[in-house]
Amino acid sequence: MKIVSIEARAIDRGFQKQVLQTSRVASPMSRFPRFGEKRSSWMWPTKKVFVRVVTEDGTTGWSCTNGGEIVAMIVNDHLSRLLMGEQIGDIASLWDQMFFSLLPCDRSGFSMMAVSGVDIALWDLAAKTQGQSLVSMLGGSAQNTLPVYVTTPQPEVHGAAGWRGLKAAAPFGPETGQTGLQANVDYMRKFRDIAGQDVPIMIDAFMAWDADYTLRFLDAAHDLNLHWIEDPIPPYDIEGMKRIKSEMDPSVSLALGNFAFSRWDCADLLRERLVDVLQPDVAWAGGISETLRILDMADAADVPVILHNTCEQPWALALAAARQADALVEFVDRGAESQLYGLMGPPAVFAQGCVTIPNDIAGNRPQPDVENQFAPVTAGAHMEGR
Q: Is 1 exposed, middle or buried, given 0-12, 13-18 or 19+ CB atoms closer than 10 A? A: middle
Closest CA to 108 of 231, 257, 220: 257
Q: How far apart are CA 97 and CA 93, in angstroms?
A: 6
Q: Which residues contact 250 (CB under 8 A, 6 or more apart)?
A: none
Q: Is 240 exposed, middle or buried, given 0-12, 13-18 or 19+ CB atoms closer than 10 A? A: middle
Active-site choice (78, 158, 227, 308)? 308
Q: How many CA atoms lie within 13 A of 5 on its CB side?
A: 20
- Evaluate whether 128 touches 54 at the Cβ level (below 8 Å): no
Question: Annotated catalytic, 158?
Answer: no
Closest CA to 265 of 237, 295, 285: 285
How many helices (H) and strands (E) the chain has is answered by: 13, 12
Cβ-count burial 132-145 (b if 16+ within 10 Å, e if not): bbbbbbbeebeeee
- Give the torsion sign (CA, 350, 351, 354, 357): negative
- Give the torsion sign (CA, 119, 124, 128, 130): positive
Determine the distance from the C-alpha atom of residue 195 to the mean position of all C-alpha atoms in its chain, rounded to a whole number: 25
Residues marked as catalytic: 308
